[in-house]
């Protein structure tokens, strides 16, 4: 920071955020699908305002631009994963994998327990794979189709899927965020996981109870005949066989072998393409309108499914929306949103506005409960402003690390708070990488499924409740003075 630069005042730091909130509020009022461009423009406009204020404070455009590029760099893995998820959706559709999962799922899942089962299934798969994104893009999409066929509101089903997937992601030793939080806080992985169970198990239990109640009281208006009609439509459109389950099974084995997400998803795309060529020749020929040259039709059909829009028409019109994907191209608006959000977060970081806001919050901390609450709120704040779950863990973790230590709080208290409030709330923000991705993958707007993502809503409240009630709050003094009384 040169002599010509100065730190922003709290008012200056808040101006771009207040302006952004105002624009986003207008977008919700005036547009049904804000992913189409309204939110992107709002973020870029707020970023421009933050940039103008930064210039007035003496920061150069080059300085702010370099921070934007650095911030976008942190989101590049998410962007590449997003493109591969688009490709995976395309090949798993034309191969019949997703339709097969829906077809057989309708045989074993009953409406009364479906939402409960969706949470459990999503949690188990995500716990095993360590990835909420991969879980939602594969099993989640199939569960959404099953719920739609049963007559459930897509927003409720999406909330159940998101709740289960993020529970598993949060508790899995294979998850990147579960490894990141203890690393930032200064504790080890398994201490962190064991300590998270105190708040996570009650949060998940409440979530399951809520979905169980909804399941037994929800009137879908769908009869067994309707479900049979859906299965018949799938069977008449696709070649349904249990052999198609080899594709997701192999993918999950690959993920369990700790293959990184990008190559693992690439394997899933290739497997889907191979299955499409083997099991669905009539689908490929219908999509490409090429007969007599199956090699050419296969190449074109698979390519189109990977990069572009694919729509398969069934004899049941209600299922047609489900059997359509946008491929990689369908993810470009979401990538645009992520780039816009990273631009806003980068400028806010470069001119000290984010630091000013968080340091002001830290200055008001007087008690342990207040400190933990401030940390949780800071994680949510960074999910909203910086739009990335990794930033929402790293920045508050670094910012509050010494404060936790000064108050004799063990590092696992900090790491648990980062996960309870940072990891799980990223999916609740429409312009965050998590929220934008899952909204696009599931085809359900973030603000639509948000009220039903009970696990994600309860988790930060649970960690704050534990803090103020002084439940399971570990302190260094407990080891030195009263080891038998350690929480």
Instruction: Single out the residue of 376, 465, 384, 468 nearest to residue 415, CA to CA.
Output: 376
241 and 131 in a common domain: yes
Find the range with the poorest average confidence among 142-146, 156-160, 338-342. 338-342
What sign does the dihedral 62-65-71-77 (CA atoms) show?
negative
205 and 141 in a common domain: yes
Q: Is residue 3 part of a domain?
A: no
The answer on pLDDT for 481 being more than 50 is: no
423 and 281 in a common domain: no
The answer on pLDDT for 482 being more than 50 is: no
Q: Which residue has the higher pLDDT, 484 or 304?
A: 304
- pLDDT score for 224: 63
48 and 140 in a common domain: no
427 and 281 in a common domain: no
Contact by Cβ (8 Å): 154, 220? no
Residue 373 domain boundaries: 10-76+331-485
- State the alpha helices, DSSP H only, in 280-410: 281-288, 294-307, 332-350, 353-363, 368-385, 389-406
pLDDT confidence of 2, banded at 50, 70, 90?
A: low
Concatenated DSSP letters for 418-475?
Answer: HIIIIITTGGGSTTSHHHHHHHHHHTS-HHHHGGG-HHHHHHHHHHHHHHHTT-S--B
Q: What is the mean pLDDT of residues 166-175?
A: 86
The answer on pLDDT for 327 being more than 80 is: yes
Q: Is residue 4 part of a domain?
A: no
**Average of per-residue pLDDT values in the chain:** 86
Looking at the chain, the whole-number percentage of residues with pLDDT higher than 90 is 38
Separation of alpha carbons 421 and 393, rounded Å: 9
Instruction: Single out the residue of 175, 76, 79 nearest to residue 418, CA to CA.
Output: 175
Find the range with the poorest average confidence among 151-165, 233-247, 376-390. 376-390
429 and 307 in a common domain: no
271 and 126 in a common domain: yes
Q: What is the pLDDT of residues 136-156, one digit of tens each?
A: 988 888 889 888 888 899 999
Which tokens belong to 270?
Answer: 């290739």
Domain count, the chain: 2
Q: Which residue has the higher pLDDT, 359 or 336?
A: 336
363 and 320 in a common domain: no
247 and 360 in a common domain: no
Q: Is the pTM of the predicted complex or chain greater than 0.85?
A: no
209 and 179 in a common domain: yes
Which of 275, 302, 325 terminates a domain? The answer is: 325
Q: Is residue 461 part of a domain?
A: yes
Residue 62 Cα to chain centre, angstroms: 32
230 and 94 in a common domain: yes
Contact by Cβ (8 Å): 131, 85? no
Instruction: Single out the residue of 315, 316, 310 nearest to residue 148, CA to CA.
Output: 316
Question: Strand, coil or helix: what is 254?
Answer: helix
- pLDDT score for 231: 82
- pLDDT score for 421: 92
481 and 348 in a common domain: yes
């Amino acid at each position: 920071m040169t002599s010509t630069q100065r730190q922003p005042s709290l008012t200056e730091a808040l101006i771009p955020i207040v302006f952004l909130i105002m624009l986003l509020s207008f977008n919700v009022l005036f547009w049904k699908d804000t992913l189409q461009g309204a939110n992107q423009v709002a973020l870029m406009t707020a970023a421009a305002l933050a940039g103008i204020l930064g210039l007035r404070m003496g920061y150069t455009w080059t300085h702010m631009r370099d921070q934007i590029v650095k911030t976008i760099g942190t989101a590049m893995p998410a962007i590449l994963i997003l493109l591969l998820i688009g490709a995976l959706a395309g090949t798993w559709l034309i191969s019949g994998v997703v339709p097969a999962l829906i077809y057989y799922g309708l045989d074993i899942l009953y409406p009364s327990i479906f939402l409960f089962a969706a949470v459990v299934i999503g949690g188990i798969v995500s716990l095993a794979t360590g990835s909420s994104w991969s879980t939602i893009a594969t099993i989640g999409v199939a569960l959404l189709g099953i719920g739609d066929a049963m007559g459930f509101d897509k927003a409720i089903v999406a909330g159940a899927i998101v709740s289960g997937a993020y529970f598993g992601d949060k508790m899995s030793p294979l998850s990147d965020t579960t490894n990141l939080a203890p690393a930032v806080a200064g504790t080890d992985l398994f201490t962190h996981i064991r300590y998270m169970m105190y708040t996570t198990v009650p949060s998940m239990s409440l979530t399951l109870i809520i979905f169980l109640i909804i399941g037994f009281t929800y009137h879908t208006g769908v009869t067994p005949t309707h479900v049979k009609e859906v299965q018949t439509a799938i069977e008449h459109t696709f070649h349904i066989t249990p052999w198609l389950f080899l594709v997701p099974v192999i993918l999950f084995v690959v993920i369990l072998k700790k293959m990184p997400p990008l190559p693992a998803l690439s394997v899933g795309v290739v497997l889907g393409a191979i299955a499409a060529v083997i099991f669905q020749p009539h689908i490929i020929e219908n999509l490409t309108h090429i007969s007599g040259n199956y090699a050419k039709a296969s190449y074109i059909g698979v390519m189109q499914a990977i990069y572009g829009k694919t729509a398969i028409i069934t004899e049941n019109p209600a299922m047609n929306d489900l059997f359509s994907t946008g491929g990689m191209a369908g993810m470009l608006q979401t990538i645009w949103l992520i780039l816009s959000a990273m631009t806003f977060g980068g400028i806010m970081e470069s001119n000290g506005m984010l630091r000013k806001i968080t340091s002001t919050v830290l200055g008001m901390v007087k008690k342990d409960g207040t400190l933990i609450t401030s940390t949780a709120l800071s994680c949510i704040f960074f999910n909203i402003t910086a739009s990335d779950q990794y930033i929402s863990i790293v920045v508050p973790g670094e910012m509050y690390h010494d404060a936790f230590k000064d108050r004799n709080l063990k590092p696992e208290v900090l790491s648990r708070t980062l996960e309870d409030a940072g990891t799980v709330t990223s999916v609740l923000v429409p312009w965050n990488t998590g929220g934008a991705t899952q909204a696009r993958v599931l085809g359900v707007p973030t603000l639509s499924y948000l009220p039903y993502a009970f696990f994600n809503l309860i988790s930060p409240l649970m960690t704050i409740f534990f803090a103020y009630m002084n439940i399971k709050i570990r302190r260094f003094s407990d080891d030195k003075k009263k080891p038998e009384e350690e929480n």
